[in-house]
Amino acid sequence: MASDMRIVVFPEHGGSAKEWRFARHHRVWLSLGGVAAAFVIASFIYILIISFQDVAAVSKLRHDLSATLQTKVHNRLLKRRLAADQLAKEQTLTQVQAISTDLQHVTGVLNLQLASTGTALPNLLSRLKSIKKDLPVVLTAAEQRATYLAHKPDELPVSGPITSWFGWRPNPFTGTGREFHPGLDIAVPMDTPVLSVGAGVVDYAGWKAGGYGYYVQVNNGYGIQSYFAHNSSVIVHVGETVHRGQVLALSGETGRSTGPHVYFGIEYRGIPVNPWPFIHSNPVSVN
């Protein structure tokens, strides 16, 4: 039979020693207690690890929800503004169409009445005077429309594959996390001419901090601004009036860039919009 376990403690400065004896069953309980303590500590560490993982998961979920919410709010605000502009445009077009119909009607009446005995000429003259009064409105609306079409972006500044679209994307430098990309990346060779997408006035031309490199921004009017980044050089200057198709810069990879390309963006009333559907639509009122 195994002997009892003895623990003797001798005081440092003299005195009588103290002795404890542990029978075999006591040692068993001590061993079990040690195992239990180790289990509790291991469980606590495991819970801590799981908790940190849960915190990371919750943080990622919160970030994703925030990004989704920002996108929805941005799209909703933009839709409201575009709807209001579309309504104003439709009202103007309705007015122009009504006057155009009147002109066609009067032309038809004139042809008929000139072939008649001329007894209804006073009514015809009265009608012509009314149309003459409205004619400046028609001409003004037509001029406004032509000016708007000359300024509205309706094409890409270069020809090449789109390598990054408008919206949320993985970070192109780290491959982790997400960032909002408020424009289009168009891959082209170095020093490709970057063309203006609509008439306007240059309000920025030169180096721009924040990763843009050599940057050109054009105020196209009607609340529209178009901009072009990562160029190798800038050709226009601030205050210069430009027309559609004019060379603004030469493409490059300056600033925060992974290779030669043109970063093309559009803002409408201060809000970044997706250039691709914008250049293929007609969202702006000419009034």
Q: Which stretch of 1-10, 11-20, 177-186, 265-274 has the lowest confidence by average pLDDT?
A: 1-10
Q: What is the pLDDT of residue 255?
A: 93
Average pLDDT taken over every residue of the chain: 77
Of 212, 179, 220, the C-alpha closest to 196 is: 220
| Percentage with pLDDT > 70 across the chain | 53
Asked if pLDDT for residue 200 goes beyond 70, the answer is yes
**Distances from the Cα of 41 to the Cαs of 38, 44, 50, 90, 275, in angstroms?**
5, 5, 14, 73, 58
Q: What is the pLDDT of residue 1?
A: 46
Asked if pLDDT for residue 266 goes beyond 90, the answer is yes
Separation between Cα atoms, residue 250 and residue 247, nearest integer Å: 8
Asked if pLDDT for residue 16 goes beyond 60, the answer is yes
Taking residues 46-54, report their average pLDDT.
64
Q: What is the largest CA-CA distance in the chain?
A: 149
Taking residues 249-272, report their average pLDDT.
95
Q: What DSSP string describes 113-179? A: HHTS-STTHHHHHHHHHHHHHHHHHHHHHHHHHHHHHHHS--S-SS-S-EEE-SEEEE-TTTSSSEE
Taking residues 70-95, report their average pLDDT.
62
Query: What burial class does residue 218 get, using C-beta atoms within 10 Å of its C-beta: 0-12 exposed, 13-18 middle, 19+ buried?
Result: buried
Q: Which of 47-61, 85-99, 108-122 has maximum average pLDDT? A: 85-99
